[in-house]
Amino acid sequence: MTGDTASKLATVPFGIKNPELIPAERYYDETFFEAEKKHLWPHAWQMACRLEEIPAVGDYTVYNLLDKSVIMIHTNDGVKGFLNACRHRGVKLAHGPGSCSSEGFVCPFHGWRWNADGENTYIFGKKIFSPEIVDKAQIDLAPVRTEYWAGCAFINFDDSAPSLVDSLGPVTTKLGNRLVDNLRVDWWCGTVIPCNWKLAMEAFHEGYHVMQTHPQLYDGTPNANAQFGPKIDGKPVLEGLEGNALTNQWIRFHELISEGMGGGIFHQTDMEVLEKFRDMDVPKDPAAAVQAFYSAVVPAVEEATRQRGAKTFNIMEAMQTQNYVEFIFPNFFLLPGFGAMASYRMRPITAETCLMEIWCLVPRGENDTTESPTEPTILPYDSQDFPEIPRQDYSNLPLQQIGLHNLDYMRIGKGTGEENGEGLISNYQRVLDGFLAGLDHETLRKAQNVSNSGFNVGILDIGF
Ligand code: FES
Ligand SMILES: [Fe+2]
């Protein structure tokens, strides 16, 4: 690290000095929250909407984060973001999803108007204004930089930031191989959680919580104790299974994820395929049995996907390099299963509350006319209508938020080598410090690329 970088990082309030210790104030201190508002959000790529929310020219939706509001419009030239403010005296123009194809946008105060391309089309009594303050550039809606990936439009308020794909790094290739652009929404829900936005994210950054928070998953995973050892009674979990007792248990494991996620990650359509392989004839040897099982199941999942008219890909190959959770700095997630995925986004509301959304995404055929939802279903975080797994994850967060006021540092498991750790929490939090310190774009781009290397990793060198 250069002396200049070190002196910039030293200015960050509650900055990380030891990568294994995360200061608790970062989750509630108002100064820290203001620093994020000033130095992170105006410079980071933010997933603003899924393209399918606004499929036709003139469709629009609104993306809000803290005091910033952006209208995402399907213009004649693709989806673009515009600041959500009348360029006369600032009235907010759009309040949720809709279509402006017939009326355009009309300001309710003095009636200025815009079309679906964000161009001003009408001003009452334009002659009362000096021409230089109402030239085209000043009265068309103010554009916000917009780029696309994974079927989503991302925005960035910083015109000099590296491109979206360069910022995200190799994860885009990995998920691109999984045809992530082709996924469509099966369901979308959201909830306000009484915790800092980063705390909500970190509940999905490691598998270390599975034993206690999701005991049904731990108990249902063959050889689950291989990573973190047996439970308190010292008994191994599901060890010694062989033949189709083992492959049936793998079906059960996928079922537990699918049911626990409301069909997310492993979609019902995939589970119907897996079910056909219950009691299949496999060798007794565990490794050979698992090999025979997946060699039969995965092509069958691909074939079923094709038969629904959707594109598919080499799932077996993708599974070799996949993480169950792929994190996209600063606040977006994709969780691949076979062809389907779940997706998460966390947004701050206050220092101690956030909005978390979950999407269940599935591969759909081009001729599939299922309409995608345009807004999430919002439920209380402790609603029994949430599937079991997110409900279990949410249940810890309000308690952790309160407890953090009585803690000095979070203690992060660095993992064994580069695996089996809580390192992602430290990795992305140190990237955040880089933003708060105002490090240069190239340094931040490289660090983001490293932070986007999936969950369960160790503490990695982010370059500073
Ligand atoms: S504030 Fe919008 S037209 Fe005046
Ligand atoms: Fe969890």
| Within a domain: 189 | no
Nearest ligand to the CA of 84 is 1
What's phi and psi for 79, nearest 5 deg? -80, 130
DSSP-derived secondary structure for 228-244: H---TT-PPSSTT--HH
* Strand bridging mode 152-156 / 46-50: antiparallel
| Within a domain: 86 | yes
Reduced to 3 states (helix: H, G, I; strand: E, B; else coil), residue 335 is strand
pLDDT of res. 437: 98
pLDDT of res. 11: 96
CATH number of the domain enclosing 98? 2.102.10.10
CB 344 within 8 A of CB 204: yes
pLDDT of res. 320: 84
pLDDT of res. 420: 84
Nearest CA to ligand 1 atom 4: 110
Atom of ligand 1 nearest to the CA of 112: 3
Ligand 2 centre distance from Cα of residue 208 (Å) = 9
CB 433 within 8 A of CB 19: no
pLDDT of res. 237: 82
| Within a domain: 101 | yes
Q: Ligand 1 test: best mutation among 91, 113, 120, most atoms within 8 Å of CB?
A: 91
| Within a domain: 234 | no
DSSP-derived secondary structure for 215-271: HHHHHHSTTTHHHH---TT-PPSSTT--HHHHHHHHHHHHHHHHHHTTT-SS-HHHH
Rounded Cα distance, 455 and 415, in Å: 11
Q: Which residue numbers in the chain have pLDDT < 70?
A: none
Rounded Cα distance, 377 and 351, in Å: 24
Beta strands across the sheet bearing 377-378: 326-328, 332-336, 341-350, 353-363, 183-193, 377-378
> Strand ranges (DSSP E) for 391-449?
409-411
pTM of the model: 0.96
pLDDT of res. 2: 82
Nearest ligand to the CA of 204 is 2
| Within a domain: 94 | yes
- CA distances, 243 to each of 115, 224, 250, 293, 295 (Å): 64, 18, 11, 10, 15
Rounded Cα distance, 245 and 249, in Å: 6
Reduced to 3 states (helix: H, G, I; strand: E, B; else coil), residue 192 is strand
| Within a domain: 55 | yes
CB 151 within 8 A of CB 362: no
Nearest CA to ligand 1 atom 1: 89
Read off the pLDDT of residues 73-82 as tens digits, 9 standing for 90 and up. 999 999 999 9
Rounded Cα distance, 418 and 420, in Å: 7
| CB of 91 sitting under 6 A from ligand 1 | yes
| CB of 110 sitting under 6 A from ligand 1 | yes
Nearest CA to ligand 1 atom 3: 110
Tokens of 25: 């104030």
Ligand 2 centre distance from Cα of residue 238 (Å) = 20
Query: HSE of 28 in the Cβ direction (CA atoms, 13 Å)?
Result: 15
Rounded Cα distance, 363 and 224, in Å: 30
| Within a domain: 74 | yes
pLDDT of res. 295: 96
Ligand 1 centre distance from Cα of residue 154 (Å) = 28
Instruction: Work out how many domains the chain is built from and give that number.
Output: 1
Tokens of 117: 């391309």
Read off the pLDDT of residues 121-173 as tens digits, 9 standing for 90 and up. 999 999 999 999 999 999 999 999 999 999 999 999 999 999 999 999 999 99
| Within a domain: 134 | yes
Query: Which range marks the domain in which residue 94 is found?
Result: 49-156
| CB of 109 sitting under 6 A from ligand 1 | yes
pLDDT of res. 236: 76
> Strand ranges (DSSP E) for 177-236?
183-193
